[in-house]
């Protein structure tokens, strides 16, 4: 049985590798069918090919290990953001903003070299950390594990507290936004950012912490289903959670990072978690980034009265690769140019600002703005709401050394989270003690979606959103209150 599964995983990963290679060649063929591609530098095309082989191989290796993982998400984002979309944009010379391929060949080559360094450092760091964790992993007794994870495990009291807080969140959101303000993203953002709520900390708490409480409440119910003896109560709680989330977290009433992360998280909990191969998750994530995200963007500025199914339309896959949503690669080129021209490396200033995102500007007047906005403003972009991918964040802080350090740090972190989650996942299914899951078990499926937006950047906003979302799950850890008096 184990041999059969191993052979099947190798077959699926090899098949996916071939399909992604064919898809990349298909993009090139489709572009050339509209006219010959002339004047493209052979060295640039070679570096794109290297990035393609590395990213596709990374995806193929990841799908053999688990049905889904943060490592897999990383390689999928490298494939889409730094290979497939840039290749299509370079061949057509249609970068989302103002980059001209023929005039920036040296910078494009330099950025591709940085990205190759990124993939090498990340891959080495991830593998070394994972191997070290696996060597140190010891099969502990259930009681020992319970003591180790006692303070971070989800409790029944915490789930009930989250249910209560979910109804509090529903009351707050209806009072602030009303039903029409929660129906579409345009109406929601006009209330949240249109001047009615002036405080940035309040905006962050409303849009991430309070909004995340009912999401993680419902996720905790799904993860702990087999621990509930009263199935009628479990189903009642699930229905309540679904209703509250449909109102507060309407898929069309939130930003794409939020809707996408929730879609990925619940997709994992309800379907991908039951799959044995990671091919399904990788294929769905690629399709979502290239095809679904541009369609969802159509609801960005709609009001409830303007909403119509006809407002959404299917996109041309080749055209979808050149839209502003996939500007991560171009913004990395501009970031490199920024450090040579209108600005310089910030030597950690941007990085510290991302770590201390929670500090108000009234206390820290010189607190930096997001790196994407910093670069866009320096070049005079009309739209400064642009991305700044994670490799570019490393470069704008410490140049090439920053790219290497951030790649190694990310590999270390993702390996730790992947190992911790999958070790618990296996134990929660196999241990006779039936230990309840930890908070990592609940938030991990959603971190898969948040990682996509962290990779795209900028880091200040994406990291703050992910951290505050996890904070919304802290009520799940509420210990059971003892009614006995201390002696």
**Cβ 311 vs Cβ 299: under 8 Å:** yes
**Cβ 349 vs Cβ 363: under 8 Å:** no
Compute the distance between CA of residue 355 and CA of residue 361 in angstroms, rounded to an integer. 14
Tokens for 319, please give them. 């055209």
Q: pLDDT tens-digit profile of 406-418?
A: 999 999 999 999 9
* Nearest C-alpha neighbor of 258 from the set 305, 221, 210, 303: 210
* SS3 of residue 438 by DSSP: strand
* Nearest C-alpha neighbor of 347 from the set 398, 293, 420: 398
DSSP character at residue 443: H
Pick from 165-169, 237-241, 427-431: least confident: 427-431
Buried b / exposed e along 56-84 (16+ C-beta atoms within 10 A)? bbbbbbbbbbbbbbbbbbbbbbbbbbbbb
Across all residues in the chain, what is the average pLDDT? 81
- For 449-470, the DSSP string reads HHHHHHHHS-HHHHHHHHHHHH
Q: How far is CA 156 from CA 161, 330, 413, 469, in A?
A: 9, 48, 29, 20
Report the 10 Å Cβ neighbour count for 12: 19
Q: Extract the runs of DSSP E, i.e. beta strands, from 346-399.
A: none
**Cβ 282 vs Cβ 59: under 8 Å:** yes
Q: What are the domain boundaries of the chain?
A: 1-149+255-479
- For 156-214, the DSSP string reads HHHHHHHHHHHHHHHHHHHHHHHHHHTTSHHHHHHHHHSSSS--HHHHHIIIIIIHHHH
Report the 10 Å Cβ neighbour count for 314: 9
**Rounded average pLDDT over 284-307:** 68
* Nearest C-alpha neighbor of 401 from the set 455, 344, 345, 341: 345
* Nearest C-alpha neighbor of 242 from the set 269, 224, 215: 215
* Nearest C-alpha neighbor of 278 from the set 4, 5, 1: 5
Q: pLDDT tens-digit profile of 467-484?
A: 999 999 999 988 865 434
pLDDT confidence tier of residue 122, bands split at 50, 70 and 90: very high
Pick from 68-72, 130-134, 199-203, 285-289: least confident: 199-203
Q: How far is CA 459 from CA 220, 449, 455, in A?
A: 28, 15, 8
The pLDDT of residue 431 is 34
The pLDDT of residue 145 is 43
* Nearest C-alpha neighbor of 465 from the set 217, 205, 253, 248: 205
Q: pLDDT tens-digit profile of 311-324?
A: 555 566 777 777 77
Our measurement of the distance from residue 317's CA atom to the centroid of its chain's CA atoms, rounded to an integer in Å, reads 22
pLDDT at 113 over 80: yes
Q: Is 119 left (phi over 0), alpha (psi -120 to 50) or beta?
A: alpha
| Highest mean pLDDT pick, 131-145, 253-267, 367-381, 394-408 | 394-408
Q: Is 173 left (phi over 0), alpha (psi -120 to 50) or beta?
A: alpha
**Cβ 63 vs Cβ 278: under 8 Å:** yes
Q: How far is CA 305 from CA 3, 144, 180, 270, 375, in A?
A: 57, 57, 9, 33, 37
Our measurement of the distance from residue 423's CA atom to the centroid of its chain's CA atoms, rounded to an integer in Å, reads 22
pTM summary value: 0.89
**Rounded average pLDDT over 368-373:** 88
pLDDT confidence tier of residue 225, bands split at 50, 70 and 90: confident
Q: pLDDT tens-digit profile of 265-278?
A: 999 999 998 887 88
* SS3 of residue 69 by DSSP: coil
pLDDT at 429 over 50: no
Locus of tokens 């070049």: 379
The sign of the dihedral angle between the CA atoms of 431, 219, 441, 124 is positive
**Cβ 282 vs Cβ 76: under 8 Å:** yes
- For 51-119, the DSSP string reads HHHHHHHHHHHHHHH-SS-HHHHHHHHHHIIIIIHHHHHHHHT--SSS--GGG-HHHHHHHHHHHHHHH
Radius of gyration for the chain, computed over Cα atoms and rounded to the nearest angstrom = 23
Our measurement of the distance from residue 468's CA atom to the centroid of its chain's CA atoms, rounded to an integer in Å, reads 14
């Amino acid at each position: 049985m184990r041999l059969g599964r191993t052979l099947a995983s190798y077959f699926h990963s090899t098949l996916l590798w071939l399909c992604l290679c064919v898809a990349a060649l298909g993009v090139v063929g489709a572009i050339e069918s509209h006219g010959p591609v002339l004047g493209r530098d052979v060295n640039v095309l070679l570096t794109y090919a290297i990035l393609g082989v590395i990213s596709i191989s990374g995806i193929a290796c990841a799908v053999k290990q688990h049905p889904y993982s943060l490592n897999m998400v990383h390689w999928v984002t490298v494939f889409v953001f730094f290979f497939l979309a840039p290749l299509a944009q370079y061949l057509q010379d249609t970068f989302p903003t103002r980059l001209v391929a023929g005039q920036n060949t040296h910078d494009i080559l330099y950025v591709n070299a940085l990205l190759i360094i990124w993939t090498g450092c990340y891959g080495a760091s991830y593998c070394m950390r994972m191997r070290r964790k696996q060597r140190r992993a010891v099969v502990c007794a259930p009681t020992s594990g319970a003591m180790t994870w006692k303070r971070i495990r989800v409790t029944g009291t915490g789930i009930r507290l989250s249910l209560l807080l979910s109804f509090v969140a529903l009351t707050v959101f209806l009072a602030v936004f009303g039903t029409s303000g929660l129906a579409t993203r345009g109406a929601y953002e006009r209330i949240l950012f249109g001047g009615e709520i002036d405080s940035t900390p309040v905006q962050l708490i409303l849009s991430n912490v309070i909004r995340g409480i009912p999401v993680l409440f419902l996720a905790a119910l799904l993860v702990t289903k087999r621990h509930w003896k009263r199935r009628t109560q479990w189903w009642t709680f699930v229905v309540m959670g679904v209703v509250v989330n449909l109102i507060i977290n309407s898929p069309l009433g939130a930003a794409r990072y939020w809707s996408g992360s929730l879609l990925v998280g619940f997709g994992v909990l309800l379907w991908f978690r039951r799959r044995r191969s990671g091919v399904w998750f990788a294929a769905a994530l690629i399709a979502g980034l290239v095809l679904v995200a541009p369609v969802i963007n159509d609801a960005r500025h709609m009001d409830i009265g303007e909403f119509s199914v006809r407002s959404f339309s299917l996109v041309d896959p080749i055209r979808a690769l050149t839209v502003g949503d996939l500007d991560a690669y171009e913004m990395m080129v501009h970031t490199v140019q920024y450090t040579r021209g209108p600005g310089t490396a910030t030597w950690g200033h941007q990085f510290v600002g991302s770590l201390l995102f929670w500090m108000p500007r009234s206390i820290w007047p010189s607190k930096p703005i997001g790196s994407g906005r910093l670069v866009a403003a320096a070049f005079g972009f009309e739209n400064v709401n642009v991305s700044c991918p994670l490799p570019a964040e490393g470069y704008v802080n410490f140049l090439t050394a920053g790219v290497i350090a951030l790649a190694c740090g990310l590999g270390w972190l993702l390996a730790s989270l992947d190992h911790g989650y999958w070790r618990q996942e296996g134990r929660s299914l196999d241990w006779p003690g039936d230990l309840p899951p930890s908070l990592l078990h609940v938030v991990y499926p959603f971190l898969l979606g948040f990682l996509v937006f962290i990779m795209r950047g900028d880091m200040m906003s994406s990291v703050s959103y992910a951290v505050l979302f996890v904070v919304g799950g802290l009520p799940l850890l509420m210990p059971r209150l003892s009614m006995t008096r201390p002696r």
